[in-house]
Structure formats: C-alpha cells, structure tokens
Structure 1
Amino acid sequence: MPAGAELIQTPVHLYRYLLRCCRLLPTPAMQKHYQHSIRQGYNSHSDENDPERIQMIIQRAIGDADWILSKYVKKK
C-alpha cells in the first residue's frame, strides 16, 4: 500500500490523494489524463451514500493508483 493510503477515510481524502499521486507520473500529458479520469470518477460517484460501497470504491481506487504508479514510475 502506498504511503499515506492508510489515512484515506472519505471520498475527499481519496480525491486529494489521487491528485497528489498524479504528480509522480512522468509526463504532463499523462498527469492531465489521469487527473481528468479522477475528476470524472469522483463526479460519477458523488451521489453514493452507502458507507460499505464507499469503502470498496476507496480501496479499489487506491489499488488502481498503486498499479498505475508501479507501471509508470521507475523504482529508486
């Protein structure tokens, strides 16, 4: 799990975390692409009110972000 991911409890925390993750991507075009995707996902789930479903979405988004970062960001 990426650093800071365990602190994510709300959709707003997730949104901010994912936007910060975008800064780690190598090119500005990739950053803009994923930022747009994050905004779309946030807006499409903004009416969700089931706490269990929200936690499921948060866990899935963190996993997806981890996979994308491991794919594009070189390990140090």
Structure 2
Amino acid sequence: MAPAGGAVVILTSVQLYRHLLRCCRQLPTAAMQQHYKHAIRQGYNSHCDEDDPGRIQVIIQRAVEDAEWILNKYTKK
C-alpha cells in the first residue's frame, strides 16, 4: 500500500538517487539544478561502499528530508 499524501517510499540507494535527480528538475534555475545534481552525485559516490542496512536507511531518510527542505526554500518565494 502506498503512503498517503504523495509521500515517496525509498528503499534502495538507486531509488534515492533517481528521486533526488527528479527533485532537481523542480529547482528554479539551471545553475541550481546543476549544482545540486553535482552534490547528489558526490554524495552517492562517497557512500557507495556503505553496507550496513541501518546506516543506509538513516542516509536515505536524511537525504529525503534535506531535499524537501531545499525545495521548500527555493519554491516558496
């Protein structure tokens, strides 16, 4: 069953990566989109060797919260 309110369930790092790249499309300028795409790629590469499932879920949760915060920051003007 899907969560209510349009929430996204992310279980794997690949799902997270794709979700974050889609979020970048909502940013107002191309420069911002490129900046955050680069940051996403760097974060993905820095955590690619993580193998603890609990730690991976913490990273996923934090990344989704950060993405929501960034989108709210730039789209509520």
TM-score with structure 1 setting the length:
0.90
- Percent identity over paired residues: 68
TM-score with structure 2 setting the length:
0.89
Determine the C-alpha separation between the residues in 2 that align with 1:64 and 1:43. Answer: 18
Partner of 1:36: 38
Aligned equivalent of 1:3, options 2, 6, 18 = 6
Q: Which amino acid is 2:50 matched to? A: E
Deviations 1:3-34 (A, max 9, x none): 342x2100000000000000000000000000
Report which of the two structures shows the higher radius of gyration computed on alpha carbons: 2
Deviation of 1:59 (Å):
0.2
How large is the Cα RMSD of the aligned pairs? 1.5
Q: Which runs of 5+ in 2 are unaligned?
A: none
Q: Which amino acid is 1:42 matched to? A: Y
Deviations 1:18-66 (A, max 9, x none): 0000000000000000000000000000000000000000000000000
- Give the ranges of 4+ consecutive aligned residues of structure 1 lying more than 2 Å apart after TM superposition: 2-5
Aligned equivalent of 2:50, options 48, 51, 57 = 48
State how many pairs are aligned.
73
Deviation of 1:74 (Å):
3.2
Determine the C-alpha separation between the residues in 1 that align with 2:45 and 2:32. Answer: 20
Determine the C-alpha separation between the residues in 1 that align with 2:64 and 2:42. Answer: 16
Q: Which runs of 5+ in 1 are unaligned?
A: none
